[in-house]
Structure formats: structure tokens, C-alpha cells
Structure 1
Amino acid sequence: MLTRLNHIRKFGVFDDFKHVKTLPDFGDYNLFYGWNYSGKTTLSRFFQQLEDRHICRLFPTSQFSLTFTTGNVDQDNVSNHSNIVRVFNTDFVKKNLNFAGEPFNPVLLLGEQHKKDQRSLERAHTIANRLEKQTRELETALTDTTKDLASLRQQYAKQIKSALQLVTTYTATHLQQDIQATSNESIKSTLTTENLHALRDVATTRPSDQPSPVSPIASPISVSDLFTRSIPLLSASPVLTNTIKHLQENPAVANWIESGLAIHEPDKDCKFCGSPIPQSRIDAFRSHFSDDLAALRSDVREALTIAESAGIQPTFAPSSSIAPTLRLEYEKSVSSLETLHSQYQLYTSNLVSCLKHKLENPFTILNTPDPPPTLDKQITEAIRQLNDIVDSHNSICDNFAQEQQQALRSCRLHYAYEYASEGPLPLHEERIARLQTTIRSKQSLLQIVNQVRDALTARLHSSEEGRQELNALLVALLGTDRLSVGIVKIDDQERFQLQRSGGIPAENLSDGEATAVAFAYFLTKLQELRSNFTNTIVFIDDPISSLDSNHVFQVTALIKNMFFEQSHDDKWRTKCLQLFVSTHNFQFFDLLRELPKQKIKQTFRRMYMTRRVSESSSQITPIPKTIANNRSEYEFLFSAIYKFSNDGYSAADENIAMIPNAVRRFVELYSCSRLPGTPTVDKRVELLFGPFSAKRILKVLHYFSHGNSIDRLSSNNELMCDIAPAIDELLGHIQTKDRLHWDSLIQSVDTST
């Protein structure tokens, strides 16, 4: 049960409503009285969003908080609340009265569910036709795209055949097989430009241009071994028996003499000056040049010969003679080995220089930098890598036909992957896949729509349910069976048709008849809730808004029978969980507040008033005593006008917003009671009040004769100033010209306050 509206913001005229302590909580049965444009229909729309379980589309930024016995509901959880709510208002009438067909052959689609079924069937037909058309268009697009794809494949196959100089057949079918092969072999990328060119060179090589084998590279002398042999020689000093100091200090002279000793054997004459050389001098020279020195020089000469041969640059086969697929790798390997050999030569050439110097200066101790310990290993590894490439090259030469076929296949797969992953080919394939998926989706949807069409057609053919109950309610509301719901067949479908007596299609329904039909359907629809009706909150907004006063009693009786019952202890209660009824009609309000006739507890029935307090704001207040205690609308109107006059026509009066309409309505009722035979209110006012007073009264009456009184009050101070004199004219006339009537009205005001 709903107990309280805590606040409502930005919901139409309820721009900033807040619950106050003086406003009692809702009871089982709740009445709202208010004039037109005071917020009753807006309030019903507020309840409507509880039924719809979503924010009203007219006020998407609204905020609110309600208290139910089961908890609070606000704009954030309105879609999740568990309360059952049903609302009758003008929106319900618009939803459930829909005339379709030719103007002279109207068909009433009665009932929201029936309307929804028919609209759903029409939409289903439209959707099915659209789906069929879309499917045909998609199938045409699929055919065209498939043809374009076949043409592209043929074009690409020709390009591949030309690029690889193929003499065998290569068609779009072969291309598709290669594309499939790239997928099966999980090829994820294309070849590099260098690899592609190399493979293509192999694939297109003519037999006469087939590469020849090349010789591997021999390993050089180990630089470590060379230095291990040479370093001791560089640091060695020969052991001499009798050293001649001059020769030791002058290596050039020593070398000259040493080489000259052999020349002077057995001749003792000096070959330079011709003088005889003493034997003692020759013996001294021979004693200086010992066997140890000769051996050292011999070892140095041998080491020098080896070192000089080690520094010779190896000869590499030109890269052009290497198989194209290995050429780039070969060039990198040769470059790496040349770099290492340059280091090798640096150390060997330095060693050669040292050995030469040692040979000339055997007594000199020499040092030379040691080569890096890893140089031999690096050179050996570089030669191994280079020779591996040479071996691969020689293997290709030995099996060139097979290598050529493999290169050809690699190139084909490269082009196949390239075409399959870039350019228009994959775009066409993706479009074909999307089209096929979309066509299947459309076909599935079409199947579902056809099933829905069949179900809706079957349901519409059996739409008799509730027709008799609906007709019974129409009789109760209208007091006659001149208007009823019949069933006719249109295009082999059973449809509801509103008919006059004799089965004649009803045309030009009055507003009252339309309201009666809609309210009857609402009451019938409530019965579909069955056991859930006892848990339902019902809001009814002005069900007699377009009915004349003769039907007010029928509507009241229907409400009593539909919504009230006596329990076993004779206490009255509502059949539904909670009932809300709003109206602007005082007579109807007076009848409603008497429901049920018997005495009830105070909390069972609550009465409220909706008031327009500003241009954009309405409030809900407890029912004023002047309304609660008055027995007629006429008395209430007079009490409001009289109080406004006695309060000095204050613009702050709580009833300021309704005073113009109150004056208009009071003048209509008063003048009609005095001059019932005069048809227009203008004529009656002129006869009663005279032409000058009538002009003043009618000016206010006509200007504020519609629901924009608030707007006009706030924008026209001159007319606002005319309200007070008009009321003075009106009340003064009744007080002086109709004293007995005046005294009776004053008595009713005193009694109600």
C-alpha cells in the first residue's frame, strides 16, 4: 500500500512538491478534488509510471520518492518495485480508443491488448516484407561480390604467373589452394623484400645460369700458437763465449762481420781493404759468434717465415657466384670474417716486425702485445659459419632442381598470403562473410516473425473474450443498449466493431460515449487480474469528464460495486488494495465522499485537494473545510469568493489561483438559477446586473474562462486590478438585490467554517 508522497520534482506542475506534516497519509480510499489544470491528470500520470515501471517520457529528469508499506520507491528503482498499479486517465482513453479504416467504415479496435495484437500483426507483416526485401537485396549483393572476388583471383593468378615466369598453368583455383595452404601451414607474415628477391631469383634461374660449387675456406695458423712460439724467441738472449763489446753494441757491424766470416775462408786477406787478417782476429770473431746465437737466429728466421705466411689474406668466392637464397647471409659472414682477419693481421704483422728486429738485434729483448684470447675461437667460428653457407650453396648446386621448386612454392605462398591479407581480396572475402552471416540472421528473424504472425493471427481470431461483460458495463454507464461492441470479419479476421442499435457501425462518437467505452473497458480489464486484484492499487482520474450529469450516478454506482464490499463483520473495505479517485466535478466528488454510505473509520477514507499555486507549480493539500462541509459546488464557490473579498483581495491568498475560475463558474450557476430560460451567460449577466456592471464582470469572466489563469494573472496587472471591482459588483448586487439568497449563502459559509 502507498502511504505517502515524500517529494516530487520536475514532474509537470509538480515542480517541487514536498510532503508536510499537516498532510495525512493515504488511506484505503483516497479522493482528490481540484479544478481543471490544477494537476489531477499530472498526478495520474505520476501513478502511470508506477504501472509502466519506467520514468514518464514527458518528464525524463523528474525526481521523486514514495513510501510504500513494502519500502520506498524513487526514480532510480521505479523499474524494480513489486506493486501492481492500474491507472485510468486521458492517456488510457487515447490508448484504447483507436478508429482505423475508411472514414465511413470505422472499426473500433477495443482494448489495449487487442490493439497491441493488431498493431503487432501489422508490424509483423511490415517487418516480414522488409526482411524478405532485405534478404533479396543481400543475396544480390552476395552474388555480385562473389563474381568480383572470382575476377580478382583470376587477375592475381595472372600477376603471380608473370612475376615467377611460370610456363605451367596457374589459375585462380591454384591461387585459392595456395591461400588455403598459408592457413594450414600457419603462415603469419610475408617474406622480407630481400628474401623474396632471392627466392624469386632462384625460381626464375635458367639452367644455363645454374650456380657452381665453391671451395671452403681453410683455417689460418692459430695466432695463439704463433705467439706461443715467438714470444720466447723475442725475449731470449744468446749465450756467448767471448763477447766483443763493440759488436754487441753495434748490431749492424756484427751482422756485417758475421756474414763476412764465410767469405774469408780460407783466404785471410780482407775483401774490403785487401790487408791480411790475423788468425787471432778471425778466432776472436768466431768466438763472439757462438752456436747459441746461430741457433737463436735460425729459430727466429723460421718463426718469421711462419708469421709472414699467416698474414696472407684468404681468397673468398664472389657473392655473385653464391646461390641467391644464401647470398645475403654469405656477404654478412664474409664481412664478419674479414673484420676478424684484420685483427689477426694486425697482431701477426706486429709480430713479423718484432721478429725481423730480433733477427737483426739478437741481443735485444723485445715485447709485443698479446692477441685477445678469444680471437682464434672467433675466427674458427666465423670460418665454420662461412663454410656452412658454402656447404649449403654446394648442396643447392647438387640439388638445384629441387631447390628451385621449393623457392617457387615459397614465392607463390608469399604472394598468396599477401593477396589474402591486404588489398581488395580480403575486403571482398570479409564482405561475403558478413553478407552470408547477415542473410542467415535475416532468415532466422524472418522465421521468428512468421511464427509471431501465425500466433497473432490465431489470437485475433478468438478475441471474443470480455465482449459480453463490456457490453453490460456500457449499458450500466449509458443507461441504454444503443451502443455495443459487436464482432465482424474483415479480411478473414474477427475484429471488434462499435455498433449502434441494429448492428450499424457507430460513427462520430461523442466525447461522453468515448469516455464511457474506455472506462467500461478499464473496469473489464481489471477483472483480468483475478486474484491479483486484491493486491492492486487503482487510480481513476475524472471518469465523468465528458459525461453529462445524468451519468454521474451510474459511474458512482459502478465504482461502488466494483471497488467496495462488506466483510463478514459488516465492515466496509475496498476490494482492491487501494483506491484513488480524482475529479473536478463537485457533484461527483460529493457522491464519492459518501462511498460507502455506512460509517467507516477515519483512516479508511482520505480527502485531498490539488491546487495550482503558481505558473509552474501545484500542491496537494488536505481538503479545505469549506469544501468538506459544503454540500454543493455552488456553496463552495461562494465561500471561496466571499473569503477572498473579506481578506482584502490579497495577492497572497492561498486561493488566488482559483479565484478567476471560481468567479466565472459562480456567475454561470447564479445567473442560470435566476434566468434559466435565457440561453447565454452574457445575456443573463446583462439582464441581472445591467449593461455597465455586466461589462466589468464579463470582462474578467471571459478573460479567465480557460485554464491559463495563472499565466494571465502573472502577466496582466490591469485585469488583476479588475477582479476586485468585479467581485464587489457581483457580491454587492446579490446582497442588495437578492437579500434572501444572500443571507442563505452567508449562513452556509458560517456553517461550513
Structure 2
Amino acid sequence: MITKFKNIKNLAVFKNFDWDNTLRNQRNEVILFKRVNIFYGRNYSGKTTLSRIVRALETGSISDKYENPECSICITDNADVTQLDFTNHDKVIRVFNEDFIDDNLKFIVNPDENIEPFAILGEGNNEIEEEIEQLKTKLGSNEEDSETGLYQDLKSLTAIYNVAKKSHSDAQNSLDSQLSSKATGQPNGIKYQSIYGEVNYDIRRLKTDILAVKEVTYTPLTNEEKLEAETILREQAKDEILVLEDLTLTFSDLSTKTKDIVTREIGQSNKIQSLLKDAVLNRWVKEGRQLHKNKLNTCAFCDNPISENRWSELEKHFDEESDQLEKDINSLLTEIRNEKTQSTNYQVFTKDKVYSKFHNELESLSRTFNNEVKNYSNSLKLLEEQLEKRKKDILNAQLYTDVVDYTEEVVQAKDKLEGLRTNSNEYTDKLNSDQSEARGNLRLKEVYDFINDIKHDDLKTNIETLKTKEEEEKSKRDLKQKEIDEIISQISSKQKELKDESKGAEKVNEYLSNHFGHNFLTLNAIEVEDEETGNKNHRFEIHREGKRAYHLSEGEKSLIAFCYYVAKLEDIDTKAKNPIIWIDDPISSLDNNHIFFIYSIIKSQIYNNRDFEQIFVSTHNLNFLKYLKRLPSVSDKQNDRVRHFLIERIENSSSIKEMPNYIKNNITEFNHLFKQIIECSSIESVTDDNYTVFYNFGNNARKFLEIFLFYKYPDSSNDLDKMKKFFGNEEIPAILTDRINNEYSHLAGVFERGQQPVEVPEMKNTAKLIIDKIKEHDEEQFNALTRSIGYQNQ
């Protein structure tokens, strides 16, 4: 069914109409079309424009005279249809409006033109008709809630498919919701975690990442690798580390010198043999010599005089050669100690100078360097020890012990530190790319953990199972629909075998005669031969008294056009296809009697047959509207209830509204006036909600009594005499009522009355008097009137 005109823009008087903003009930719910829909609107309010929009759904196009038209029509089980493609739906549409008349009944404009012929089911082939009935029996009924046959099977399969579809959809939506929350949910979605720097991250990116972490080549970060990646992201660009200071090591030279000194021979002539044999004694004497020389003449130890001969022996023993050796030893010891200090105190860069990724390497290299420096220092110490030993025994050459030279090891360790320094400096340029890689690895690790937490593979497997189930049920449903379509096609094909275009003309004539009594006007099917193909075809002509009719009245044209339309609903392209029917103001130029007959044909030939999905009727005529209100009866199903709409034009713009109750609920003005009087008779006091009942009472009562008394006393007596008859022998009620009716209706003779408040007791008493008298005179009529306005007698 058509549920609503979602919007209409730049289409005649519909400038910018929006359904959802305009049509809402008291609960603020959007009002939608029902199966039966009635429009009322004055001429030029836009009724035909609406019919043209719906006719575009039938023909596939709308007039090109509209400039930039826009519209959107909502149809059940279809995507919204817009002006871009009016054929984008699966409904059968049949519209009666002036465009239908122009296209099919060209004689309306040009009397020399023919009427477009159509074929309905013919007669005479009982076998084919029986086959059609068998097919229809198998097909069954498609009436809502009462389906039978294949339609019932289709309904069951559709229900099963819908359940399977919903299960699949729910499972997919649940997974998509979890994915969406992980990708873009606040505040924990990947998009909003600054560590990943992915401000444009969305569910599509997440699905790509899921595919990546499910590759066999993917290995998630370990906890240690994760901490390392997080550390990289915290890195800031560091200053350049300067080149390490030069470290010049001379161990080879020092060891050569040490060996030379330790093994150097001292001349043995003129030496005191006892001192040569005792190095401690020799050192003791040497120190004593230094203490006594040029200071004491006697021995400070034994207090004996020191002879010149003894001084000569000592001078020869401690000669210049041994002094020079001692000087050389002391000098070399100083060199070795300086070398040791230089190597021991050599400084390399610290961890805070390099990037975190090099910290472990720096610790290892620094450890190696310090160990090698320590080994180097120990070797220097061994040289020292050998020199100290010779120094203590200056006169006797010693054996030299070779010492390991760690110079190369120290230099290699330093070179590795220099290489690390270079790498750290160069890493500054690579930091951005490594941080980008770290973000990616951390993001993929989170995605990997996420899909394991939600059991993504299990969910996908379940969704695929549900999808397969949905496809299976859809296939079953589609096969059943295909079977139905094939049977419908067979019925249509067999109906075409029975088609008889002359029957179309007979159906129109039947309506003209039976419903309108126009026996003198007929529609004749004239057989003609196609000059090119030789095929026999028909054309329709209007005849009056056996001759082609010209100069038809507007009323006759309207009758023929509508009868033609109703008959065409039974053509082979429409019958049994459950069309959506739109009838636009079919009572043009018709009198009241024919207006009723138009209603009767809609009721009997269209509505009662139930061969439609939905019906719309529009009118500008209140009398026709009165009949249309009878269209659904109380025995109809609830979903056949009618919905009333008002097409309202204000200046140059129109809109659709729900029909107000004063039009919808009152069958005639007479009923409406009766309702106003009975309400006045029952109101206790005047309020803001009911004061208009009293202010309008005089006018309402006058008009009601004029109508009521005219039909009750259809003679030439005056109004006051009629009221006296109505109210009985008492003159006072009649005179009082007449005064109120005149004074409050016309202010006749008492202009100052218009400046005074309404006298409520007078109004109420008069209203009650009128109601009581109607009930007294004809209780059956009184009850009918109260029922017509939905009033429950208190």
C-alpha cells in the first residue's frame, strides 16, 4: 500500500510539503494512509496534482511542464519512489483523473477521435474457463488474514524466511555493533585512543585490521615487545652525541721500556760485594749515605768516624750508572701511572643520551669496555710491580715476565661504543617511522586481543550459518512466489484467449443503463482491419440513437468517462491483480441524483468486490462527501476503516491535513446544527471551551428550525405559525424562541443586544425546549439524530 507522500516540492500548489511535520495525531504519531482514503478539498486546492503524482506511478512519468519537481512516495515493501524513477515499485496502479480521460477518451477534446478500446473476459470457451478456475483454486485467495492455497503457503514460507532473515540480521547487527564500538565508540574506541594516532579510524579500517591479524604470517607482540613499543612512542628526539675523545694507549712502548730497565746490567767493578748480595742492606746503606753525606763525619748508627777511604768505597759502589737506572725506573713508573689514570678515567656517554632501543646494547658495550679497561690497568700494574722490584734491587738485573697487552680489546670496545653513538644519532631521522610502526603493531595487538575476547571466529561462523539458513528460506519463498507468478501468467494467458473487446463496450453500457438510466447513450465496439497487418481490431465510439454522437454535454462526458474507467478495471491487465485505485473528483457537472449514482457504482462495483489493495477518492462536493462516508460498513474488517483527509490551500500553497471532526463526523449541516443545540441544552455554565455554543446559538437554532419545520410543515404558513404548531398551544415558548433566534441571530430591532453578554439561562432553556419537543413529536427521528452525531443521551 501507499503509506504517505513523504514530501512534495515544486509541484503546482504543493510548494514544499512535508508529511511527517504536518500529519500527526494528538499523541504526536505520524498519520498514514489506510486501505480506504477520502480527500476533501475545494477546487484548485491540489486534488488533481496528487492524482497526477500517483498516475506517474502508473505511467512511469509526470508532466514535463513542472519545473524542478520533487516528490517521494512511501510504499509498503518497496523503496521510496521518487521523481527520478516512478517505475521503481511492484504495484498495479489505476488512476481516474483528467489525464486518464485525455489519454483514453480523446473524443472529449475532439469529437472525431475514438475511445481507446480494451478487452475483458469473453464467453464461449467453457474448457478454458474451467482451466482458469482450477488455476485460481490452486492459487487461492490473497485477502489479508484469510489467505488460502498457494498464497497461504507463500505466507507461511515468508514468515519463516522473515524469522531467518531477522536472526541473521540480528546476529550481524550485534557483531557490527561490537565492531563499531571498538572502532569509534567513546571513550575507548581505537579512534579516540591517542596512543594510536588514528583520528580517521572507522569500522572499515577495523575489518581490514582483523583480516591482517588473522593472516598466518601475523605474530602478536609479546608482553616485552609491547612494553618496548610503548617506550618507543614515549621517545622524544634527542640531541646529537659528540664523538668520543681520543684514547691513545702506549702499552707496547711501556712494556718494552719496562723490560729494558728490569733486565739492565750494572757494572760490578768497585762494588761492595756484601751489598751486592743483599739488596735490602744495599738500599739501607744507600739511604744512610744520603743522610750522612756532607752532614755528618761519624756514623749516626755506631757513632764511629767515617773514613775518607770508606766514603771513596761508597762513592764507587753507588756510582752514576745505578743512579741513572733508578731515575729511569721512577720516570717509567710515572708514565705507567699516568697511562693507568688516563684509561681508568676515560668517560663514555650515558643511557640518557641514547634512545631507549639502544639501552640494553649500551649497557652491554659499556660493561665490556670497562672490563677491558680494567684488564689493561691490571697489565700496567704488573709492569709497575716488575719496576718496583728492580728498584728495590737496583744493582742486580732481573728476569722480565711478559704481560698481556689489552690495547686492541680496549680499542675495539671503544669502537663499538662509537658505532652505537653513530646509530643513535642516525636514529633521530628514523624515529617517526619506528613510532608509526610501533603504533601499528600495538593497534594490531589490541585488535588481536579484541577478536579473541569476543570470539570473533565463532560469531562469524554463526552468522554464515544463519545467512545460509536465510538464503535457503528465501529460495523456498522465491520458488513459491515463482510458482504463483507462473500460475498468474497462465491465468492471464488463458484470459487473453477469451478476451473480447466488444465486452468492454457492453460493460460500459451496462453501467450507463443500470446505474444512470442512459439508454439513449451507448458505447459501441467497431471492428476495423489494420491496413498494414490485416489484423482485426476494435475501436470504441459513442452512439446516440444508433448514430455517432456529437455535442455531448459536460455531464454526459463525465458519466461516460467514469463508466469507462470502472469497466476498464475489469480488463485483462487489471482484473485479479489487486490494484491501487485513485479516483479524482468524478462528479464534475453532475446533478445530485447522478452524484449518488457515482457513489453507488464505486460502492457496488469497486468497494464491495474487494478486488483492490487500496482505494483513494477525492472530491470538492460536500454532497458526494456525505455519500463517501458510508463507503465502509460496520461489518467491514478493522483494516478497511476509512481515513479522511483535508487538502487545504492558503494563498498559493497547499498542504494535506487530517480532516477536522466537524466535517468528518457530521453527515449534513442539519446534523451539525442539531449537535450544537443539544450541546447547548446540556451545558451548565459558560467556559472558554464552550462559549461559542452560546454565542452561535441564535443563528444555529434559526437555521435548524427553518429546515426542520419546513419538512414537518411543508405548507405556506409563516415561521411563527409553524413554531406555534411545533411547540403546541402555548404561545410563550414559540414567541420566546422566535425572539432569541432573531435577536441573537440578526440583532434585529435591538442593536444594543450585540453589546451585552449572552443570557445563558435563556439559551439553555430554549435549546432544551427544542430538544424535548423533537423527542415528543417523533422519538424515532430524535434517536436517529442523536446516533448520527454520536451523542449519548444523558
**Shared fold by TM > 0.5?**
no
TM-score by length of 1: 0.37
TM-score with structure 2 setting the length: 0.35
